[in-house]
Structure 1
């Protein structure tokens, strides 16, 4: 067991700790009203600028890559700190006498917190909009910690009443993607989490973000785990940009997924589907895709880089042949020498005499670098 004190302000009284998306650990220090960051190597940095209204309590990694924490005291709020240490506080929507305590990330993309002062469960969006819910709670429950359960529900502790309770949430909608895009058809893929309630979903689509068309509602079941779902679109126009989004509904509410854009191919052009990267380490990753030549001799490569404007690199340097039939071909290329703890973008690009097709952008994040363990002393 190893303890670290260098970098800690005296009387900080570290309280709660969470793993951040940046590979570091973040903790609250209510004694000095600061948020601390400690690397896996034990290097501590503290941030106090921007914490103006309350005393930090508990902290959690948010769905937006930032850390979110509760603040109570005379001026309660919910705080957000970026991996760079910039703090924003949100208090609009908190009632007088509010005392936020526990905080967790819900499967529906919101963060939830206990508010013992208002005897309520609070919800905050990543944009900072706060709502609170109290129906069904025991009076003066003494709300403390809260966690997102494996069933998708929110579980919370009532210290005063000696009870544990749960609250249902709206469905989750994961990232949406496209596959098998041709000149007139496409398959839209995604994940829907029913969160233990009967859930249906649709795909809204059109040539603008007004969408205008929707598929028939389909069932995602009532389980506790996110379900892979897919919907086929037909009757599309060639070489046209389309917008799509997935919408899921259960008895608690409706969740609208993010907009996704794809472009149908020119007639006869190959289809190209970027797939999830695999074998991602601190310095390497394997890029994957599916390419269908659509009966014309076709080559492919991957564009990749730390941004999409432009990607900046391609692999292989000369396009590789993929065939001339009408079947899906699994293709892959491995990248080496990547920077640790870095997000990269990539897409597959397939070309034939009928045209060039660009797969959707995908991202991967390399793992943080870990120093090798010290050598063992020689045996005596």
Structure 2
């Protein structure tokens, strides 16, 4: 079957996260139509998570291609680049304070970034409430029994991608490290000690087996990630459920008994329940035999430990793919050009990060003078 020109192709993007939305936005800027399908019933159906940095050498490149860089800077928090490395007593061991005017990797809430991208799209681009069951690259089959024919399906559907199954047998594997997310609201008034401890950006501490990472969000919120080297099902094997906030809290306070009270407030004083987030990764390297009607981006293509690369790489992937489609004679040619760039790049970064999930609980002092990724 002859591959169509991108301008005439039916292009389907599965997943309305930053990667999928960035791809749709850049395609539309080039006059190419794409439809985004997402399982959420509407854009406000769930909390989008914490804050993230968008770097000048990847995420910001994509936003520039999307024509949204100025709008991003209007929302971003450059002061959020501050980083504190603490010991288990809460004493600062290393401190990165961004220079005035530093815009290399300002922070933005995930929800704000998603809103920026959604509002930039033509009305009707995103079809909500469309949970994908399967695809062979020609037909999308949804959980509601409907189906859609397509010429290209772009899997931007995250760690446990349904689209990935059309090109790869790989499944995410547990990395040996688990996060438990805790929220703190109105921190200046209700959690002033924690606010002072964290500063304007993030604060981290580890003892080699467990760690705490606190991250300031906009609107007076802080999110804390309680990090442990434990089995993925540690809550169940401890005899608890994720809904048992009091039981989990008591268990964690015992696990962190050697830590100072000012650090343990990140476990004891949170507002609301914990959220269980075991960390998974894909095999390194992850590649597949090229399929002219299916490709992947972001976590669907190269799921790695959460060490500052995920959203940035997803958005750079999205930009590269959209530009390849805009500059190619056929969809097949565009997929080939995109994967020839994306797969080696993601393999190199995945190799650098392989095995580094345990850095999340490390007790080593980072060298903030060189803010390179591991």
TM-score (norm 2): 0.22
Greater percentage in strand: 1
Give the greater-gyration-radius structure (CA): 1
Q: Which has the higher contact order (CA 8 A, sep 6+)?
A: 2
TM-score (norm 1): 0.22
Greater percentage in helix: 2
